[in-house]
Amino acid sequence: MDILQSVLLGVVEGVTEFLPISSTGHLILANKILGVPQNDFIKSFEIIIQLGAIASVIFLYWKSLVNPKILKKLAAAFIPTGIIGLLFYKIVKTHLLGNESVVLWSLILGGLALIIFEYYHVKTNDTEKGVSEISYGQAVLIGFFQSIAIIPGVSRSAATIIGGLSMGIKRAVIVEFSFLLAVPTMLAASGLDLVKNYSTLFSTENFWPLAVGFIVSFVVALGSIKFLLNHIQKHNFIPFGIYRIAAALLFWMVFFG
């Protein structure tokens, strides 16, 4: 991997991490377009540069991340995700990461799910005034929804947001909770990968692509978060569902047609 490829993948990661369109899926497809071969380092790179995007959440929401009440809710949401992630880590990394067909089907089906959900979703009289008001039961259920995103292309943010909306949580509240929940989730995923692949990742050859990808994804993710917060004030997620389907079909026609 050269530095230009690292920059481009950092941009893709920063843009897509918090939008309901799947950052992992887009990274896999971007690798295909850029001609980056799938190997153990690239699979780890796709996981670890997400730390750059996660750093943007820490930068913007550090006050929430030191709030004991919020931290307890995040811990409750992380438990089901952590257990399921550990159980299926090897299967996902060996058989699903890098599988373009899985990503494309996930993008299409996830797009349809977003459109159908938004079409039938009825706003309720929301009572939550902020993230701290989410109950522990809701937090655990959101964690189960998030665990579906171990399948590349599903989108962690889409799964958590749909899960929260289906429980009657306000759109702005569940979006912020999704941002915050990304921190322990991705730190755990990246930490596990670091432990398993430390010697490969931090060789002289691999250090700079990782560093550049991290920095670029951090900067770009700051803008992506602000975009989504502005978007949800007046719009729903149907445009993202349409985009997912269109992008998957276009990729399919170009590379598999």
Sign of CA dihedral 65, 18, 15, 200: positive
Q: Which of 99, 121, 109 is nearest to 38 (CA)?
A: 99
H or E element at residue 150: none
Q: For 35-48, give the DSSP string.
A: TPPP-HHHHHHHHH
Give the mean pLDDT of the chain.
88
Q: What is the pLDDT of residues 173-209, one digit of tens each?
A: 999 999 999 999 888 877 776 776 666 666 667 788 8
pLDDT at position 246 is 96
Q: Where are the domains of the chain?
A: 3-256
- Distance in angstroms (rounded) separating the CA atoms of residues 113 and 148: 13
pLDDT at position 138 is 95
Region 227-242 average pLDDT: 94
CB 26 within 8 A of CB 231: no
CB 118 within 8 A of CB 237: yes
Give 96's pLDDT tier (boundaries 50, 70, 90): confident
pLDDT at position 198 is 65
Helix (H, G, I), strand (E, B), or coil: what is residue 170? Answer: coil
Q: Give the count of beta carbons closer than 10 Å to the beta carbon of residue 157.
A: 26
Give pTM, 2 decimals. Answer: 0.88
Helix (H, G, I), strand (E, B), or coil: what is residue 11? Answer: helix
Residue 126: is its pLDDT beyond 60? Answer: no
Q: Which of 123, 103, 94 is nearest to 244 (CA)?
A: 103
Output Rg (C-alpha) for the chain, integer angstroms. 17
- Distance in angstroms (rounded) separating the CA atoms of residues 26 and 11: 11
- Distance in angstroms (rounded) separating the CA atoms of residues 132 and 68: 9
- Distance in angstroms (rounded) separating the CA atoms of residues 233 and 238: 14
